[in-house]
Structure 1
Amino acid sequence: MTVEALRDLVVSTLDEHKGGDIKVIDVRAQTDITDYLVIASGNSDRQLRALADAVATAARAHGTRPLGEEGLTAGDWVLVDLGDVVVHLMRPESRDFYQLERLWGELPRVRGQSETH
């Protein structure tokens, strides 16, 4: 699976499972750690865990094994590391506080298959 196909799979999975305000940031020119950051919101701890599980399950079904998942018990910020794509799932309050989109400055924003958010 190409990195772009994985990125699009993550976006469509989050969209299907009602992830909010989905953003994709292209970080290839800034870091060797990953190619894309995908950031989405969930309204409850339960929704964040469900979104993380849906992303991990979809990735596995397409041959990509998650390298790690963090924050499943903390509840306000869950990270799913798929290697070339790192997914940040956050409660709106945490997302406003940490402002990951601003942290990465004026990097190119990319969207996968869905443009609904």
Structure 2
Amino acid sequence: MEKLECIVRAMNDKLATNIVAIDMRETSPLFDYFVLCTGSNQRLLNAIKDNVEEQCELNGYEVKAIEGLRNSQWILMDLGDIVVHIFEGEARDNYNLEKLWGDMPRVDISEYLK
């Protein structure tokens, strides 16, 4: 399973909503994709983060760093070529990364959400 699919499926398995993958290859020399999702509360954010971490490890992908763990409304995971953003709804609206990177193409992840 490719890394992007692994991440999206892990998010979806833990009931993350509004999962979006943004192709950053044209802009960033450091990473290829942003993957964003929303969790309804702190406990769900941590469950999503834990599942992404576990599924990546099972599939041989290294999580290099995680920031925003305790009582955070935004958890960031660095997986090298993919950066994962797990938000509570209000924080996602406030930071609005989709608008900031609105000119970047979206990746069709619908096949991973079945």
- TM-score w.r.t. the length of structure 1 is 0.91
Residues of 2 paired with 1:19 and 1:51: CA distance? 7
Write the deviation string for residues 53-108 of structure 1: whole angstroms up to 9, x where unpaired. 10011111111110000101132000111111111000000000100011112110
Residue in structure 2 matching 1:100, options 87, 97, 101: 97
Give, in angstroms, the shift of residue 111 of structure 1: 2.8
Question: Aligned pairs, how many?
Answer: 113
Residue aligning to 1:114: 112
Residue aligning to 2:46: 49
Give, in angstroms, the shift of residue 115 of structure 1: 4.8
Aligned amino acid, residue 35 of structure 1: D
Unmatched tracts of structure 1, length 5 or more: none
Unmatched tracts of structure 2, length 5 or more: none
Residue aligning to 2:69: 72
Aligned amino acid, residue 28 of structure 1: R
Residue aligning to 1:18: 15
2:112 partner SS: coil
Shift >4 Å, 4+ stretches: none
CA RMSD in angstroms, aligned pairs only: 1.3
Residue aligning to 1:39: 36
CA contact (8 A) 2:9 2:113 kept: no
Residues of 1 paired with 2:108 and 2:6: CA distance? 11
